[in-house]
Chains A and B, each alone.
Chain A
């Protein structure tokens, strides 16, 4: 009802602004795109692939100059959605839409949409650590590996190889999973398992 009584912008003006019609020069300069085809092809019509071909924008300019796109796969669930990472000078600047991926068609759930967070998260461990007298202390990699392997060898010498249990991962690459199994074989125990069990 009442809403229809708003002042209408004067016809022909570029930018309407409610009470007064202003022409913001900054706004007027902006490039207005004929986005129709591009938009629908990506967002709406993954199912109606006929539109995909027309995904051409009129005056597209890149936001990040000289960036390259790296294709990878989301690390959350087994659907295996594609991710296009925009990398500029070795920094992952933006997560782009992997619209070509045959399974996901650019789609993500909330976890995958924030995949970049895995790399930029402040909560990531920054260096090797160990607990000393109940306090976390930093180590160098050399120290850590030396201490761990020394202890492993000691335990192996005292209790045999089956004193070690190895929980591998479904979150590493297939190659790494293979190495984990191979490691257990070389270590000499079948005490190895991963999340597929549960």
Chain B
């Protein structure tokens, strides 16, 4: 999120696309409804499904899954055609605008209607609302990202906000509601196959930086890898790790996967779940570290599985980063229950036994505070350096001093700080940055320009035009030494830049001069290192519209995509829709979370949502002869099947069916109950919805495309 949940209170209009905040982030609705009621802000909900959020909307836009990008480009086109764009903002802070406009021109409301199914009139109306009630807060979630063009879709959202000039403004921004409680923190710490903590990437310089932070020899770390090449190349991702076990696809890795540690991670949120199950059963060693056995314990029938009971987060302490980038401290409530151990202890046991404890814990004596300090020391890119454990704890103890409207402490021990010191928090005196890219405040007070990351000047391949990437003259935070754009800071301490200077002198120097350490640049509409430099629509791999497949085809196949070959063109078959006529989309329920290992083990939550079901439109149900409560079989083009209960509801349209993905523990009438450790099976079992989610992965991030697959529905 560029802004915060509380900042939505200042929005003059809101658009939610691919987000069901009422079910996934219920408490955020407090602020959303405040904006709706007090500011009379229109609440636009774009979703294939009439969600509970849509029930609160002032404008509900039903969209065909996977066509968000076309709709966004359509809005952009409509806004520009009417001259509603924020010309000054674009002139001073946006790059690659003209190239983007050229692409957007294609998406007239009529073209958008053809692709998305949204009436041209409605596209015009939405554009009108957005133009007339600024700032707009734009929110997306997995509905926007889980497509093979997810990275293009999300960029189109950002471009819309740039065109409207809503970035860096209170009440505006692109507000991605993150899923898990600490997904922001874990992402920032880059528990990722393609990055080191703080999004440092995997280049040699990044490794050297972190080795310096860890106070270990670069060569000793490098020697642990298969080779320097593999040290600097992406690993398997969560979306497709199992291919490394199965070996059915073309993989590029020094070794197939033989062992796995599954630490606090369910498995049934993976698409093509039956392949995951197959892989789990082929491993030589599987270690599950979780407070609950999770479905992994039940579907893995081999003897190579260990379950280690970890304590829940209430039985340990540490910091947690919310979707608003706020860092909060979890104080330990009780000691670990039963014979469980907290995560730190399990890690220390493993590390000691594996023999690198001395190096691993070199600067870590007090757990977890010293770890936070190490993070403060090394994670400079995103400004994790001002949030010391002491400051975070002080914020927790002084909740009441923070204003609900702007989240700033008014008086008290945290006076002036923004709640949770949303990163970047450059120094231990910095209040945190409540709104990213906000140039109305000095950098030292939480302001920020756009980051200068991709050079100072660029020539676009598309047009041959050359454009400076730095912000226009006079556009900067108040008190900035340079009045206008400037490059990122380097060589303040010789041989380092702001990202690698562990003394943090560079950052302090920049802040003292009223400037941002990462420079002051323009936001890019053209990303020249992506396959689609400007976001364009591409039909889902499994598209219900054969006629559009030709017009908006997908990418060429991509080899070595997170070590696995990924099919695009060879997977897209326009005739598939004849056999699999319905669009399959998945989503969340408010009562359950993720794979549901925790929530399905809670008796009250199980009581509220006790069954797996499939949502079918009454019209479709009648056509198929399905009645309320009937069991139906949903089959994916990959041949996977599940049997679930039919829930007839107009929430979905006649072409779409919806599955919640929290369930697991049965498959096609077979129950895995007996395979759980006795007495530890969840109260509620059901067929995993992800068994039938389709093949398809994003071209950049490899996020799975679960929201726009195809399927067949028959009565069981």
Contact = CB atoms under 8 A, between A and B. Distances in A.
Contacts of B599: 111
A166 B591 CA distance: 28
B339 A127 contact: yes
Contact of A181 (B196, B372, B593): B196
B705 to A, nearest CB: 10
Contacts of A167: 238, 241, 260-263, 265
A191 B313 contact: no
Given A125-B293, A165-B257, A180-B191, A196 B186 contact: yes
Given A102-B403, A193-B236, A164 B260 contact: yes
Nearest to B224: A188
A125 B678 contact: no
Contacts of A124: 291-292, 309, 312, 337-338, 340, 601, 680
A35 B427 CA distance: 45
B87 interface: no
B226 interface: yes
B179 interface: yes
Contact of B264 (A77, A129, A169): A169
Interface stretch (A6-14, A18-26, A68-76): A68-76
Interface stretch (B19-27, B440-448, B489-497): B19-27
Contact of A102 (B314, B419, B706): B419
B353 A146 contact: yes
Nearest to B176: A78
Interface string B311-324: 01111111111111
Contacts of B196: 181, 185
A38 interface: no
A101 B350 CA distance: 37
A111 B593 contact: yes
Given A72-B333, A110-B591, A193-B192, A148 B341 contact: no
Nearest to B230: A162
Interface string A156-198: 0011111111111111111111111111111111111111111
Contacts of A159: 255-256, 258
A51 interface: no
B576 interface: no
B326 interface: yes
A164 to B, nearest CB: 5
Nearest to A147: B306
A77 B207 CA distance: 32
Contact of A179 (B187, B329, B347): B347
Nearest to B185: A174
Interface in A99-141: 100-105, 107-112, 114-115, 117-119, 121-134, 136, 139, 141
B265 A75 contact: no
A114 B215 CA distance: 43
A170 B226 contact: no
B330 interface: yes
Interface stretch (B43-51, B75-83, B392-400, B511-519): B392-400
A57 interface: no
B254 interface: yes
B364 to A, nearest CB: 9
Interface string B351-375: 1011010011000000110011011
A155 B322 CA distance: 37
Interface in A68-96: 70-82, 85, 87, 90-92
Nearest to B33: A47
Interface in B385-417: 396-397, 399-400, 402-404, 407
B233 interface: yes
B290 A125 contact: yes
Contacts of A176: 318, 343-344, 347, 368
B605 A114 contact: yes
A58 interface: no
B353 A102 contact: no
B458 interface: no
A125 B256 contact: no
Most chain A CB inside 10 Å of its own CB: which residue of B238, B332, B605, B683: B238
Interface string A23-46: 000000000000000000000001
A74 B182 CA distance: 10
A80 B691 CA distance: 30
B267 to A, nearest CB: 8
Interface stretch (B164-172, B637-645, B696-704): B696-704
A167 B260 CA distance: 8
A151 interface: yes
A169 to B, nearest CB: 3
B236 A165 contact: yes
Contact of B191 (A109, A152, A194): A194
Contacts of A128: 306-309, 339
A170 B399 contact: no
B553 to A, nearest CB: 25
A180 B617 CA distance: 44
B681 interface: yes
Contacts of A101: 399
B193 interface: yes
B250 to A, nearest CB: 16
A130 B305 contact: yes
B575 interface: no
A129 B351 CA distance: 20
Given A102-B403, A186-B224, A173 B681 contact: no
A161 B305 contact: no
A130 B191 contact: no
A186 B364 CA distance: 15
A49 interface: yes
A180 B146 CA distance: 25
Given A102-B402, A174-B375, A78 B179 contact: yes
B322 to A, nearest CB: 3
A144 interface: yes
Contact of B233 (A117, A152, A163, A190): A190
A149 interface: yes
A53 to B, nearest CB: 10
B314 A155 contact: no
B30 A105 contact: yes
A110 B223 CA distance: 49
A51 B33 CA distance: 20
B256 to A, nearest CB: 7
Interface string B667-685: 0000000000111111100
Given A47-B38, A190-B233, 5 more contacts: A71-B396, A78-B322, A173-B318, A179-B344, A197-B701
26 contacts: A47-B30, A75-B314, A78-B25, A78-B179, A98-B399, A107-B26, A108-B27, A114-B605, A124-B292, A144-B306, A151-B285, A155-B285, A162-B255, A164-B260, A166-B261, A167-B260, A174-B372, A175-B371, A177-B182, A180-B189, A183-B350, A188-B231, A194-B183, A195-B238, A195-B594, A198-B270
Complex A-B, nearest 7 residue pairs according to Cβ-Cβ distance, in ascending order: A173-B318, A169-B264, A80-B322, A188-B224, A190-B235, A174-B185, A125-B309
Interface of A: 46-47, 49, 70-82, 85, 87, 90-92, 98, 100-105, 107-112, 114-115, 117-119, 121-134, 136, 139, 141, 144-149, 151-153, 155, 158-198
